[in-house]
Amino acid sequence: MQHVVQAQASALQGASAASGGPMISIRGLSKSYGGHKANDNVSLDIFPNEVIALVGDNGAGKSTFIKMISGVVRPTSGSISIEGAKVEMTSPNDARANGIETLHQNLSLVDVFNVQENIFMGRELQRRVFGMVPSLDHAEMRRRTVELFKQLGLKTPDLNKAVRALSGGQRQAVGIARLLLESDLKLIIMDEPMAALGVEESRLVVELIMRLRERGYSVLIISHNLDHVFQVADRIAVMKNGRMVGAVERDKVEHDDVVSMIVCGRMLEKLVS
Task: Report how many residues bind Mg ion under the rule CB under 5 A.
Answer: 1
Q: How many whole angstroms separate alpha carbon 163 and alpha carbon 171?
A: 7
In the complex with ligand ATP, the residue whose CB is nearer, 61 or 246, is 61
The dihedral through the CA atoms of 226, 209, 190, 162 has a sign that is: negative
Phi/psi for 225 (5° steps) reads: -100, 105
Among 59, 211, 226, 249, binds ligand ATP (CB under 6 A): 59
- What residues form DSSP beta bridges with 49? none
- Least CB distance to Mg ion at residue 195 (A): 10
Sequence-distant (≥ 6) Cβ neighbours of residue 73 within 8 angstroms:
31, 64, 67
Query: Which one of ligand ATP, Mg ion, none interacts with residue 58, CB within 5 to 8 A by kind?
Result: ligand ATP
DSSP-derived letter for residue 1 is -
The SS3 of residue 266 is: coil
Task: Give the per-residue contact string, 36-55, with ligand ATP (x = CB under 6 A; - = no).
Answer: --x-----------------
Which residue type sits at 217? Y
In the complex with ligand ATP, the residue whose CB is nearer, 154 or 188, is 188
In the complex with Mg ion, the residue whose CB is nearer, 4 or 29, is 29
Tell me the residue nearest to Mg ion as measured from the CB: 63
- Least CB distance to Mg ion at residue 63 (A): 3
In the complex, which residues of this chain contact ligand ATP (CB under 6 A)? 33, 38, 56, 58-64
